[in-house]
Copies of this chain bind each other. A is one copy, B any other.
Amino acid sequence: MNVDELILVSVDDHVIEPPGVFEGRLPAEYAAAAPRFIRRANGTMAWVYEGVEIPNTALNAVAGRPMSEYGREPVCVEEIRPGCYDIHARVKDMDANGMLGALCFPSFVRFCGQLFLENGPRDQSAAMVRAYNDWHLDEWAGTYPGRFIPLAIPILWDPRLAADEVRRAARKGCHAVTFSSNPHALGLPSLYTDHWDPFWRACSEEGTVVCLHLGSSSTVPITSPDAPIEVIYSLSPIGLIEAASDLVWSSVFRKFPDLRVALSEGGVGWVPYFQERIDQIYAKTRHWSGMDLGGRLPSEIFREHVLLCFIEDSVGLENRRHLNIDNLTWECDYPHSDSTWPRSPEAVWPSLSGLTREEIDKITHANAMRHFRYDPFAHIPREQATVAALRRRAAGWDVGIRPTAHLRPAGV
């Protein structure tokens, strides 16, 4: 097998929402309250909802720029690739990267729709969530059948409404929903309550994967205010070990044995250590703490229920015999700075060295297809879905790295 034969489905990319998200998708009473995309007098862009300006609308959208420009957040549309927000350009960027499928997390509404938890009357914000999801499912993920794993955002403040929205999205073919890696950190009940049961039940029954993306706890891992950005980058993916712990030690998976949760952008290399550690802990605490996992080891529960997601992770793949290879998935992370675009096939290939074709197929696409009930081959024949075939379709599409800092408005 060679790199050209890979079929790549990413379970973690990002959309920078274009202005028209809410247009024509809201009940009349809420239309005027919709978040608005604005260009300020100085040329910078923002979204506005309930009087709150969200300035960083293209968080870390640096794809296509030289690394020397990765440090400054884009402030205007001219700084970012059209593939960030334009679905046609996005598919071209995917083709050029030899990438068949993508699951796109939201941007201005934040990783699990915190914007609507924190702002607006509840009924109105629920309407916004539904309109957002309709846009994502119908327009973003729907325009090119077979190219996207659709992803819904949740109604965070009401588990029954959240469940309804999961079921509504499932009826539209969506089997992924974002959620917070730590609802307690958002001021909501933790995983140790039964508060979320209606939501878990809906996800379990609909076969909807709950995706916990780094950053969805609304906290930033930092050791001191004067620590450099590298510290945040060092601690962010592995920070999902907190969510992993909550998942294993709470009763969520015991109550909902069909539920699957993804640690989006969490990496893999630390997981074998984590599994060994939690089993060591349970061997002792089970005698006194009251923890009862029903005859199973915590690592078994973790391996069965938790989907692992990696961008480049040689250590993790070397240690795959400790992992459930049926739950290992790959990420591109376009257009963020951790992304390997437009050389993802070449970037992931070394991590796959020594694996069998069956293992490679599982990790690169088959696991994602099964877990997210995503069937690209219903639309695109398999032989047209490979790295080589997709890149042929993108012949002439410009993926050259070029600076855009000079396009930033003066004085910003």
Binding site for B on A (CB under 8 A): 66-71, 182, 184-185, 190-193, 221, 223-231, 233-235, 237-238, 241-243, 245-246, 248-249, 267-270, 272-278, 280-282, 284-285, 287-291, 298, 312-316, 318-319, 322, 337-338
CB-defined contacts of A67 to chain B, threshold 8 Å: 284, 287-288
Give the residue name and chain of the B residue nearest to A284 (CB).
B67
Provide 9 A-B residue pairs closer than 8 Å at the C-beta atoms, listed in order of the A residue.
A67-B288, A70-B284, A184-B224, A185-B223, A192-B228, A193-B226, A231-B246, A234-B241, A315-B322
Number of copies: 2
List 6 additional contacts besides A71-B289, A184-B225, A190-B223; criterion CB under 8 Å: A67-B288, A70-B287, A184-B223, A234-B274, A267-B273, A273-B315
Q: Indicate whether A277 sits within 8 Å of B238 (C-beta atoms), given known contacts A272-B315, A285-B70.
A: yes
Q: Is the CB of A281 within 8 A of B230?
A: yes
CB-defined contacts of A226 to chain B, threshold 8 Å: 190, 192-193
Per CB-CB distance, the 10 closest pairs between chain A and chain B, nearest first, are A269-B273, A184-B224, A67-B287, A190-B224, A71-B288, A234-B245, A192-B226, A270-B273, A272-B315, A270-B270
Main secondary structure of the interface of A (DSSP, over half): helix
Docked CA distance A33–B238 (Å): 45
Which of B70, B235, B287, B298 contacts A245 (CB under 8 A)?
B235
Residue picked from A67, A223, A241, A319, most chain B C-beta under 10 Å: A223
Q: Indicate whether A238 sits within 8 Å of B237 (C-beta atoms), given known contacts A227-B192, A228-B192, A246-B223.
A: no
Give the residue name and chain of the B residue nearest to A66 (CB).
B287
Q: Is the CB of A285 within 8 A of B230?
A: yes
CB-defined contacts of A241 to chain B, threshold 8 Å: 234-235, 238
How far does the Cβ of A77 sit from chain B's closest Cβ, in whole Å?
21
Give the residue name and chain of the B residue nearest to A188 (CB).
B224
How far does the Cβ of A296 sit from chain B's closest Cβ, in whole Å?
14
Q: Is the CB of B223 within 8 A of A69?
A: no
Q: Indicate whether A238 sits within 8 Å of B270 (C-beta atoms), given known contacts A224-B184, A276-B313, A337-B284.
A: yes
